[in-house]
Structure 1
Amino acid sequence: MKKLVVVCLLTGVSLVSKAQHEGITKHTGSTQNTINLNDMKFIGKVDERYQSVNVEMCEVIGGDFWIPYPLIDSVRKHTNKTGISALKWGIRPIDLYNKKLRNLASALGPIYVRVSGTWANGIYFQDNDEPALTSPPSGFKNILTRQQWKGVVDFCKAIDGKLVSSFPISDGMRDEKGTWQPQQVKAILDYTKTIGGEISASEFFNEPSHASHGDAPKGYNGVNYAREFALFKSFITTAAPSMTILGPGSTGEGGILPSGLDLSVNALLSPSPKATFDVFTYHYYGTVSKRCGGVQKPELALSADWLSKTEKGLEFYQNARDTYVPGAPIWLTETAESACGGNPWAATFIDSFRYLEQLGRLAKKGVQVVMHNTLARSEYALLDDDTHNPRPNYWAALLWSKLMGSQVFEGGSLEAGVDLFVHSSKKQPSGKSVLIINTNEKATTITIPDEAVQYVLTADELITKKVKLNNKELKMTMDDKVPALGGKKVKKGTVALPAHSMMFLEFNK
C-alpha cells in the first residue's frame, strides 16, 4: 500500500501526499518511461458512446434514495425506519429541463442515458394526461407519468443521448393465471414513439440476480426468467424490432460483492428456453459503501488491487457471456465507486483515478460501453445533487469524451504505479490520444516521440472537490456553461508527470 499522509480537516478526511506538498509541478526525478506510438498494436474498438451515464428511475419519479452522509444520523432520529430503508430518504423528481444540467450532460455527448434501477422494476406507466394517481394499481409499487417520461425523452434529444431502459417485473405484469403480459411495455413503447423518441436498448428488468430485492414475484427463479424473457423477446421482435435487447444485467458474482445473490447467472441462463441477447450486460461495484457496512478505506483507493478489481469483475461475466451468448458484445450498464450510493470520498479527486482506470482497462478488455451511476444523485454521481456543480469525476469524464476516440491500442507498460492507455484521437483523424495515470506519490518523467497537446489533471489534496487542469482550477462559467478545455503544447522529448496526476497527451500522428 502506498504511504500517504492522512490529514484531518474540519470538512472531513483529506489525503495529501508528501510530493504534493513539495509542489505539483516540481519534478522529483524518477524512472524514465518511453512511449513509441509506431509500435502500438490495434486491439479493438469501443462504441462511440462508450462513456455513458445512468439516471435512476427513482430520480425521474421521485422516491427513496441514499441519504447524504452528513445527514444520516439526523434523518434517522425523525423516522422509525430500520435496515437499508433507514439509509434512504425521499427525493424530489429531477428537473431534466434544467439548463445547467443539460449543458453539462451535452458536453459529454454522444452518450447513452440509462433510466432504470430497482424502482423501474415496480413501475406503473400511467398512460394518460390526467393528474397522477395517488396510488398505483395492485401489483405495482410506483407511478411513472407521461410528463415525467416525456422529460426523459426530451432530455435525451437535447444532449445527443440514446435512451436505454428496462421494464417492470412486479406482480402487476401478470394475468390471473400468472402469465406475463406485455401491455405496460407496449404502452411505454407506443408513447415514446408518439412523442418522437425511441428506446434504443433495454434490459428485460433490472438486476435479476437480486430479484427478491427488486419487486419480482415471490419465489421468482431461473425457470420463470427463461419463460418470461422468451415472451418479452417475442413481443419486442414485433413491437420494437430496432431496439437492442440487453441482458441479463446481473451483478456481484465472482467474489466481488458479499452474499445476497438470489439467482446466479447460471441459474438464469441455463433453463430452457435459453435466453439470448443482442448484447450481454452486467453491473459492477467493487464493494458496498460505508453506508451498508463496507470496509473500504480511502487509503486503499489508489492501490493496484482496488484499481484492477474491475477486470476481475469483467472476467467472471465474460466467461458467462462466452458460455451462453458467445460472440455477443459486452456492456457494463451500471457501475460506480461502490454500491449503496458510494463512499464519502467518491465525490472527490481520489476517485477520478478509479474512474479513468476503469474506462481504460475495460476498453482494452473488449467492453463496448460503460454506464456510470449516476449523473447527478448521491456521492458517486458526476455532479452534485443540488447545485449540479461538477465533481472531479465529471472533469475526468469530460476530458475522456473530448480526447479519447473509439479505436483502442496496446500501449505497453510503464513503471509500477504508472498506467498507460492509448486510443485514436477524437480531434485528429490520424492521431492518437494517450492517457497516463500516475498513482504514485512521486513525480516521474515520460519521453514522448513527437510534439503533443497536454492536459494534466491534478489537485492540491486527494480528498478534495477542487481540480486543476494544467495548474488552473476548473470551474463552470458565470452563465453555467462548460468551460473550454485548453491544452498546453509540449515538445518532443521529456515531459514531467506530477505525483498523483492524470495526463492526457494528444498527438497529431
Structure 2
Amino acid sequence: MAMRKIQFYLLVTFLAYFPLSGFVRETFAQNKLNLTQMGLIGKVDERYQSFNVEMCEVIGGDFWIPYELIDSVRKHSNKKGIDALKWKIEPINLSQQKLRNLAAALGPTYVRVSGTWANAVYFQDNVEAKLASPPAGFKNILTRKQWKGVIDFCKAVDGKLVTSFPISDGMFDKEGNWTPTQVKSILEYTRAVGGEIAAAELFNEPSHASHGDAPKGYNGARFAKDFAAFSAFAAEAAPKMKIIGPGSTGEGILPSGLDLSVDELLSATPKPTFEVFTYHYYGTVSRRCMGGQKPENALSAEWLSRTEKGLEFYQNARDKYVPNAPIWLTETAEAACGGNPWAATYLDSFRYLEQLGRLAKKGVQVVMHNTLARSEYALLDHDTHNPRPNYWAALLWGKLMGTDVYESANTEAGVDIFVHDLKGKKKGKAVLILNTNAKASSVEIPAGAKQYTLTADELMTKKVKLNGVELRLNGDEIPAITGRNVKKGNVELPAHSIMFLTFE
C-alpha cells in the first residue's frame, strides 16, 4: 500500500507541474518531418503559380462593385440581375512601375488575359482614334496601344502570355462559319511588336456559352466545328502557340448556369484535342451572388479539400477525352463573382496555399489565380496596388517552392504539410506547413533550417507578419525576405500560422 501511495503522490506531483493537456499536445500531437523518406511523386511547370489580368481590366468595362459601394452604386443604376453588381472600371495601367515590381517578384509566371469580356472584343488593328462603337457582332474594343501594354507588361515581369479569342457573332460569316480575321490580326500585331502568345483557348468558358456572348443556340457540334477551324488556322499561323482548352467551369462543384457539359463539348465530331487540358474552379459564389459561404468555415477541412473535388471531375474528363495531356487550372480564386469580403484578408491565405500544395500533389501543372489587381479576390489592392495577405503568401511560395513535388508526412488534424525541392538549389527541400487550428502545435525537424512564419493578430486582417514583423513595401519595392535559423528538433507552430522551412 505504501508503494501505491508513493506512486499516486508522484503522479499528482507530475500533473501539477506538467498539465496533461500540454503533455498530450507535445507528445502525441507533434508532427515529424523525415525528409529522406519522402519520395518524388511529380513535377510542376516552372510557372506553376501564375495569375490573370482580365480583358475587362485591360480595356475598361463593367466589373464587380466593391462591397462597401454596392448599395450606393445600385441606387443610381438601372441595371438588373448580375449586371447590377458591376460598375464601370477604367483600364489598368500596366506600365506602372509599382505594379510591375510586385508582379515581377512572383515570376516567372504565365499571365492570362481573358475572361468574359474577351469573348466579344474587337481588335482595332490601326493607329487611328478609338472607334466610337465596335463593329456589328462585337461589344467592346481592344486597341493596339492596350494590347501592346499587355505585351510590354509580360516582358517586364517575366510572364508568358496566355489568352483566348472572341466567339461573338462578328467572328462568323453569313453561312455561320468561323473566320480567322480577328485572330490573324492579333497574332500578326503581337509578333510585330516583339511579343508572343504562349498558349490560347478558343474562347473563355464554353460551358457558359450563352452568358459569354457566343451565338444564340451554340452547342457542342458547333464548338467542335469552330475548334477544328481555329486549330487548323493556328497550326499554320502560330505553330509555337499551344492550343489549350476547353476551359470549362463549375461541373462537380457549381453546375448552376451550365449551358454545355464537358461531354457535350468534347464528344462531338471532329473531336477537339488540346495540347493542354484546362478548367476553371471556384469553390462557391460570393456573397454578391447570394453565396452562402461563411468566414467561420474558411479553414474547415471540407472547404480546403474542395479544390481536389473540383479537379477530380475535370481530371476524369481529361483522361476520357485527351489522355496524358497536361492539366492546367487557368482561372481560380476564393469565390466567383469577385470573391467574398474576407478574400482580401489573412483568412484566405490558407486556402490560397492549400490549393497550390494540394493540386501540385495531384498532378496539376499550372494554377492561374484570378486576379492580380482587381476586386476582393485580387492579390493586390485595386486602388493602391498594395499587397494583400495572399500576395505575401504567393511571394513566399514563388521564392521558395521548386518544381519537384514530394510525398508529405501524416499529421494531426488541421495541420497540413507540403514538400517541394528548394527553388534555385541543386539540393535541398522547401516545406510548407499550415496550422489551421486555433491552438499551437509543433513539428520535429531532422536538421537545422531557415524559417519563414506568417502570422496575423486576427484572421480577418489585411496586415500579416513574417517572423513577427509586419510585412510592408519599401516605397514601391519588395522588402528583403529573410528567414531565421532554427535548430534540429521541435519547432513551434503558432495557432493559425503558415510556416515555410528551407533545408539546404
Give the TM-score, by structure 2 length. Answer: 0.95
Equivalences for residues 225-264 of structure 1 within 5 A? 225-254=223-252, 256-264=253-261
CA contact (8 A) 1:126 1:143 kept: yes
Tell me which protein shows more helix as a share of its residues: 2
Structure-1 separation of matches of 2:92 and 2:129: 19
1:365 corresponding residue in structure 2? 362
- Counterpart of 1:401, as a letter, is G
1:37 corresponding residue in structure 2? 35
CA contact (8 A) 1:29 1:443 kept: no
2:472 to 467, 475, 481: 475
Alpha-carbon deviation of 1:82? 1.1
- Counterpart of 2:178, as a letter, is W
1:504 to 493, 500, 504: 500
Residues 181-235 of structure 1: per-residue CA shift (max 9 Å, x gap): 0000000000000000000001110000000000000000000000000000000
Structure-2 separation of matches of 1:56 and 1:281: 17
2:183 corresponding residue in structure 1? 185
- Counterpart of 1:252, as a letter, is G
Structure-2 separation of matches of 1:400 and 1:35: 19
- Give the secondary structure class of the aligned counterpart of 2:88: strand
Residue 339, structure 1, aligned to residue 365, structure 2: no
CA contact (8 A) 2:251 2:261 kept: yes
1:159 to 147, 150, 157: 157
1:392 to 385, 389, 392: 389
Structure-1 separation of matches of 2:26 and 2:105: 37
CA contact (8 A) 1:28 1:442 kept: no
Alpha-carbon deviation of 1:286? 0.1
Residue 453, structure 1, aligned to residue 450, structure 2: yes
Alpha-carbon deviation of 1:34? 0.7
1:489 to 479, 485, 488: 485
Equivalences for residues 98-113 of structure 1 within 5 A? 98-113=96-111
Alpha-carbon deviation of 1:29? 4.6
- Give the secondary structure class of the aligned counterpart of 2:365: strand
Structure-1 separation of matches of 2:410 and 2:151: 43
1:410 to 384, 391, 407: 407
Alpha-carbon deviation of 1:412? 2.2
Structure-1 separation of matches of 2:319 and 2:116: 27
1:123 to 121, 134, 145: 121
- Give the secondary structure class of the aligned counterpart of 2:438: coil
Residues 81-127 of structure 1: per-residue CA shift (max 9 Å, x gap): 11100000000000000010000000000000000000000000000
Residue 219, structure 1, aligned to residue 232, structure 2: no
Alpha-carbon deviation of 1:28? 7.7
2:95 corresponding residue in structure 1? 97
Structure-2 separation of matches of 1:506 and 1:428: 11
Residues 141-176 of structure 1: per-residue CA shift (max 9 Å, x gap): 110000000000000000000000000000000111
Alpha-carbon deviation of 1:33? 1.0
Structure-1 separation of matches of 2:222 and 2:449: 56
1:282 corresponding residue in structure 2? 279
Aligned residues: CA RMSD: 0.9
Residues 412-444 of structure 1: per-residue CA shift (max 9 Å, x gap): 211110000000001432000000000000000
1:65 corresponding residue in structure 2? 63
2:435 corresponding residue in structure 1? 438
- Counterpart of 1:150, as a letter, is K
Tell me which moved more, 342-351 or 258-267: 258-267
- Counterpart of 2:163, as a letter, is S
Residue 273, structure 1, aligned to residue 276, structure 2: no
Alpha-carbon deviation of 1:258? 4.5
1:6 corresponding residue in structure 2? none
- Counterpart of 2:485, as a letter, is K
2:148 corresponding residue in structure 1? 150
- Give the secondary structure class of the aligned counterpart of 2:378: coil
Give the TM-score, by structure 1 length. Answer: 0.94
Identical residues among aligned pairs (%): 74
- Counterpart of 2:55, as a letter, is M
Structure-1 separation of matches of 2:255 and 2:338: 16
- Give the secondary structure class of the aligned counterpart of 2:453: strand
Structure-1 separation of matches of 2:480 and 2:113: 29
Alpha-carbon deviation of 1:477? 0.2
- Give the secondary structure class of the aligned counterpart of 1:162: strand
- Give the secondary structure class of the aligned counterpart of 1:121: helix
Residues 283-310 of structure 1: per-residue CA shift (max 9 Å, x gap): 0000000000100000000000000000
Alpha-carbon deviation of 1:32? 1.1
CA contact (8 A) 1:209 1:250 kept: yes
Give every structure 1 segment of 4 or more consecutive aligned residues whose post-TM-superposition deviation is greater than 3 Å.
Answer: 27-30
- Give the secondary structure class of the aligned counterpart of 1:363: helix
Q: What is the aligned residue count?
A: 480
Residues 326-350 of structure 1: per-residue CA shift (max 9 Å, x gap): 0000000000000000000000000
Structure-2 separation of matches of 1:489 and 1:28: 24
- Give the secondary structure class of the aligned counterpart of 2:254: coil
**Pair member with larger Rg:** 2
Structure 2 residue runs of 5 or longer lacking an equivalent are 1-23
CA contact (8 A) 2:381 2:387 kept: yes
- Counterpart of 2:484, as a letter, is K
Structure-2 separation of matches of 1:379 and 1:367: 25
Residues 326-376 of structure 1: per-residue CA shift (max 9 Å, x gap): 000000000000000000000000000000000000000000000000000
**CA 1:152–1:446: 2 relative to 1, 3 Å:** same
- Give the secondary structure class of the aligned counterpart of 1:453: strand
2:18 corresponding residue in structure 1? none
RCO greater where, 1 or 2, for CA within 8 Å and sep 6 or more? 1
Structure-2 separation of matches of 1:346 and 1:205: 27
Structure-2 separation of matches of 1:108 and 1:28: 37
Structure-2 separation of matches of 1:370 and 1:345: 21
1:351 corresponding residue in structure 2? 348
CA contact (8 A) 2:32 2:409 kept: no
Structure-1 separation of matches of 2:131 and 2:54: 21
- Give the secondary structure class of the aligned counterpart of 1:434: strand
CA contact (8 A) 1:250 1:282 kept: yes
Structure 1 residue runs of 5 or longer lacking an equivalent are 1-26
- Counterpart of 2:49, as a letter, is Q
- Counterpart of 2:234, as a letter, is I
